[in-house]
């Protein structure tokens, strides 16, 4: 976007936009490293150097807050390096010319067949060729599948969605593939829920030095360094007796040794209960039954890490509570800003925001923040 409000595709600050709309690259315009850019929808900002990418992250958050009249200290962003993402969901389809495996094209359901990538970790990239071969044997013609890949303690956790192997031979191919490539766990979901087919050792993920059972298809922060940056920010923002709301499998609860954790996903609750027996862990849907003011009175700090929709009802309860400090982690600056306005109206001060770019070269920006009152 130029100063006059004119939109120029694939321009970054410092570029020169000519009268005909062409772009003359400036000092922060880089050559995209991947041959699939910009066709592939996995990345939108490979033409921006780190300075421009960081500036974009800050502006996304500042702009969202400004719409609610809020200004605060926005710290220097943490940007995950290339080839650091440890989880991805790829699309796969068998065609007459072979198996397509990759991300969708931008604004499309057409699969861009991934032949190189500068985002995923090497362990995931190493599986792309073998996966194409496997899927060529077990996918039916024109069948579309979804492949979830996550790097955990023992290797790659692989979930094949909408893959329907026919016969014992196909099942043997799948388990042989898992053994040959050191897969930590391989599961299949044929439409009735995921079923582990291969798991030589219990699948775990280490969080703050604690091995936690990792649910099939479970959620994990996209990069290990991004997880660390968010956890450090949460630790800085909290003190005293702490409640972790929308706790998942305990990424932040374990990092700060929280006293209480609430989560709606049953498998995540069971995993955290087994890993942190001294912590009170409650199976609770915070959208339907948020903690009320009386329940929140037990805590000095609260951590809140809701889905992209934010957590308006839980935030309304926090805004009227006596909780002194709130660490709010968000994957959506717009709903974060909406919820931040409710907290500010309730007497909280937004002390700072830490942007985190875990999804390298993507417009998807995450953040951790600190709210306080009475200080």
Tokens for 211?
Answer: 């091995």
Residue at token pair 């609750």 = 269
- Helices 167-180 and 128-138 pack at an angle, to 10 degrees, of 170
CA dist 306 and 98 (Å) reads 40
Among candidate residues 34, 43, 331, 370, the one labeled active-site is: 331
Tokens for 145?
Answer: 């599948």
In sequence order, what DSSP letters do the residues of 58-92 get, joined into one string?
A: HHHHHHHHHTTT---EEPPPEEPPTT-B-EEEEEE
Say which DSSP state 203 is in: -
Tokens for 79?
Answer: 């940007």
CB neighbour class for 322 (10 Å; exposed up to 12, middle 13-18, buried from 19): exposed
- Per DSSP, the three-state class of 105 is strand
Tokens for 335?
Answer: 């709903």
Are the C-beta atoms of residues 157 and 185 closer than 8 Å to each other? yes
Please give the sequence-ordered ranges of beta strands (E in DSSP) within the chain, or none if there are none. Answer: 16-17, 23-24, 73-74, 78-79, 87-95, 98-102, 144-152, 155-161, 185-189, 194-198, 204-207, 210-213, 242-245, 260-263, 280-283, 301-304, 325-330, 349-357, 366-372
Are the C-beta atoms of residues 133 and 126 closer than 8 Å to each other? no
Backbone φ and ψ for 150, nearest 5 degrees, come out as -140, 130
CA dist 250 and 311 (Å) reads 18
- Per DSSP, the three-state class of 128 is helix
Active site (annotated) includes residue 370: no
CA dist 205 and 282 (Å) reads 21
Tokens for 94?
Answer: 């068998």
The set of catalytic residues is 331
């Amino acid at each position: 976007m130029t100063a006059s409000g004119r939109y120029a595709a694939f321009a970054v600050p410092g570029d020169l936009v000519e009268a005909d709309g062409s772009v003359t690259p400036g000092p922060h315009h880089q050559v995209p490293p991947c041959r699939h850019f910009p066709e592939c929808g996995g990345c939108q900002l490979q033409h921006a150097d780190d300075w421009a990418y960081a500036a974009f992250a800050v502006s996304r958050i500042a702009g969202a807050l400004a719409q609610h009249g809020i200004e605060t200290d926005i710290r220097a962003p943490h940007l995950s390096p290339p080839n650091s993402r440890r989880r991805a969901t790829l699309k796969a389809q068998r065609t007459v010319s072979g198996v397509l495996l990759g991300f969708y094209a931008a604004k499309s359901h057409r699969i861009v067949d991934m032949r190189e990538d500068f985002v995923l970790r090497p362990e995931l990239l190493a599986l792309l060729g073998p996966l194409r071969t496997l899927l060529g044997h077990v996918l039916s013609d024109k069948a579309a599948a979804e492949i979830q890949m996550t790097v955990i303690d023992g290797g790659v956790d692989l979930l094949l969605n909408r893959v329907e192997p026919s016969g014992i031979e196909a099942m043997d191919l799948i388990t042989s593939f898992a053994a040959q490539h050191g897969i930590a766990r391989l599961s299949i979901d044929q439409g009735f829920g995921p079923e582990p087919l291969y798991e030589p050792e219990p699948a775990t993920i280490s969080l703050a030095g604690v091995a936690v059972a990792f649910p099939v298809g479970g959620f994990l922060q996209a990069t290990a360094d991004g997880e660390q940056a968010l956890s450090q920010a949460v630790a800085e923002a909290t003190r005293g007796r702490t409640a972790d709301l929308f706790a998942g499998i305990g990424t932040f609860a374990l990092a700060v040794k929280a006293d209480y954790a609430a989560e709606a996903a049953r498998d995540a609750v069971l995993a955290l209960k087994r890993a942190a027996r001294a912590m009170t862990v409650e199976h609770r849907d915070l959208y339907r039954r948020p903690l009320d003011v009386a329940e929140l009175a037990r805590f000095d700090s609260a951590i809140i890490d809701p889905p992209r929709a934010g957590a308006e009802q839980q935030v309304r309860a926090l805004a009227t509570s006596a909780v002194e400090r709130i660490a709010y982690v968000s994957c959506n600056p717009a709903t974060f800003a909406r919820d931040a306005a409710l907290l500010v109206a309730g007497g909280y001060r937004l002390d700072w925001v830490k942007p985190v770019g875990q999804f390298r070269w993507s417009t998807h920006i995450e953040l951790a923040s600190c709210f306080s009152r009475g200080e």
